[in-house]
Amino acid sequence: MKHLAYVLILVLALSCKNNQKEKVDTKVESTTQNTEKDAETTTNLPFLIDIKSLEKDTSANPIETFKTKATNLATEVIKLNKDNIKDALTKAKDFKNVVITVDNHTIIKLNVNDCKPSGAWSACMPKAEGYIKKGDLAYQNDYANNIIGLPDGQERLLFLFD
């Protein structure tokens, strides 16, 4: 009986330790940091100057092309989830251009000074303008939560540009 009690205490202690680790991992996680010049960024990423320029992109998937270029040119890239979006959007207020992509089908540029509370994301979601690719690119102008959808397993990246 004593041995069973020791085993139960050991199992309980180990399970508490794993749960605590999960809570620590919810902080904002930067995936890249670059210090490229602002002029080079806007030249190579016309979407930052003119959102509608994406319609003129002749690549098979303009959103995927943007992600590839932006990963190298952004000052910082943050993988978003429900747990870190509030902190990431607060950090975004310090940057000139802020873009969110969802997988390879959605891209939006944020106006971080105009936001509306979102229950699903538990954050004040900013006004956004961009595109959803449903065969053709469909223009969107709404609050970010209405464009990027509900929190789920899709890859959402926040690109921060000086």
Does residue 13 belong to any structural domain of this protein?
no
- The predicted pLDDT at position 44 comes to 81
Confidence of residue 26 (pLDDT cuts 50, 70, 90): very low
Does residue 96 belong to any structural domain of this protein?
yes
Mean pLDDT of 19-39: 46
Residue 95 has pLDDT above 80, yes or no: yes
Q: Cα separations (Å) of 94 from 1, 84, 89, 98? A: 60, 17, 9, 10
Does residue 14 belong to any structural domain of this protein?
no
Q: Is 118 exposed, middle or buried (0-12, 13-18, 19+ CB in 10 A)?
A: middle
Residue 17 has pLDDT above 70, yes or no: no
Residue by residue, DSSP assigns 101-131 as EETTTEEEEEEEEEEEEETTTTEEEEEEEEE
Does residue 26 belong to any structural domain of this protein?
no
- The predicted pLDDT at position 131 comes to 97
Tell me which residue range forms the domain holding 54.
31-161
Q: How many domains does the chain have?
A: 1
Residue 62 has pLDDT above 80, yes or no: yes
Does residue 16 belong to any structural domain of this protein?
no
- The predicted pLDDT at position 42 comes to 59
Does residue 61 belong to any structural domain of this protein?
yes
SS3 162: coil
C-alpha span between 93 and 87 (Å, rounded): 10
Does residue 20 belong to any structural domain of this protein?
no
Does residue 44 belong to any structural domain of this protein?
yes
